[in-house]
Amino acid sequence: MGTVRELLDLGIARLRASGSESARLDAELLLAHALETDRTTILAHPDAPVGDGAAARFEATLDRRASSEPVAYIRGVKEFHGLAFGVDARALIPRPETERLVELAELEVVRRLVGAPRPPGSPPLRVLDVGVGSGVVAVTLAVLLRRRGMADEAELVATDVSDEALELAKENAVAQAVGDRIDFRTADLIPGDETRMWDLVLANLPYVRSETLPGLPRATAFEPVLALDGGPDGLRVIARLLDQLPGALARDGVALLEIGGDQGQAMRDLAAERLPDWSCELEKDLGGLPRVAVLQRSSH
């Protein structure tokens, strides 16, 4: 039986030797997971003894992490926008950069609902999350709107080409008590059987250049390639979505698309080619990099 400090020291050393770039944080998260507590608790009690069962569980998780499996998959959970989401190999692990997309989506919905008078009986805003993955965008937005008392004023639909990803997204929606607020559908980008157009389209689609995939951190090898590979220029899937927007987005609608931090000019060029009569503005993330393309008809 060892103490928290002793096991952490051993774990950190082993993960550093295996090439982990965040060995200390990884070890702390994995030991907390093995002890069924949180990282703050173990850091506050470094001299606490650790039983043999928990030590064995910790050792097993170190084996998995040493083989480059992401910590989020080992723990089965990833925090996003203050919420805990279940994660596994069915979908991409949520990235903090995507929180900017959610923030902008919330602001846009609120602006539309409170910025101008809405006649009684107005239909709810129609919001579409394309490529829902683990569900973090649609589910977080649903939670935020519920907190604001606006849940009934927005109709949320989420699509993905992967049925496995959709199942994970549904599980996360139920876990956050918004399972009845989102309509999940299997579709290749925008559903083609709609009679009403969308007020807001959100998308975090694959945008990694194919040639750079082998150079990504080893942990990404555990994630679905379908959710990462954006083709030769990283914008192949996004380009397909742009082609669908004119027939799907309402006249005053807005599309918010996450992009890579180095794709700002390429995104502007693509929008000018595919949507010549539309505007394309770029919103930056906390690092000052272009992160979300805001697309709408120029006449708006």
pLDDT digits (tens, 9 = 90+) for 113-124: 998 777 788 899
Q: Where are the domains of the chain?
A: 2-67, 81-297
- What does the pLDDT average to over 43-53? 94
| Joined tokens for residue 100 | 């900017």
CATH class, domain 2-67, is mainly alpha
> What is the pLDDT confidence band of residue 195, given thresholds at 50, 70 and 90?
confident
| Joined tokens for residue 22 | 């965040």
CATH superfamily label, 81-297? Vaccinia Virus protein VP39 (3.40.50.150)
Tell me the DSSP string of 8-62: HHHHHHHHHHHT-TTHHHHHHHHHHHHTTS-HHHHHH-TT-EE-HHHHHHHHHHH
Distance CA 142, CA 60 (A): 36
Q: Which of 144, 161, 148, 273 is nearest to 206 (CA)?
A: 161
- What does the pLDDT average to over 169-173? 98
Strands (E), the chain: 2-3, 49-50, 77-80, 83-86, 125-130, 154-160, 182-186, 198-203, 249-258, 278-284, 290-297
Provide the 3-class DSSP secondary structure of residue 196.
Answer: coil
Distance CA 152, CA 144 (A): 12
CA distance readout (Å), 126 to 73, 188, 197, 202, 253: 33, 18, 8, 11, 10
- What does the pLDDT average to over 246-268? 96
pLDDT score, position 24: 96
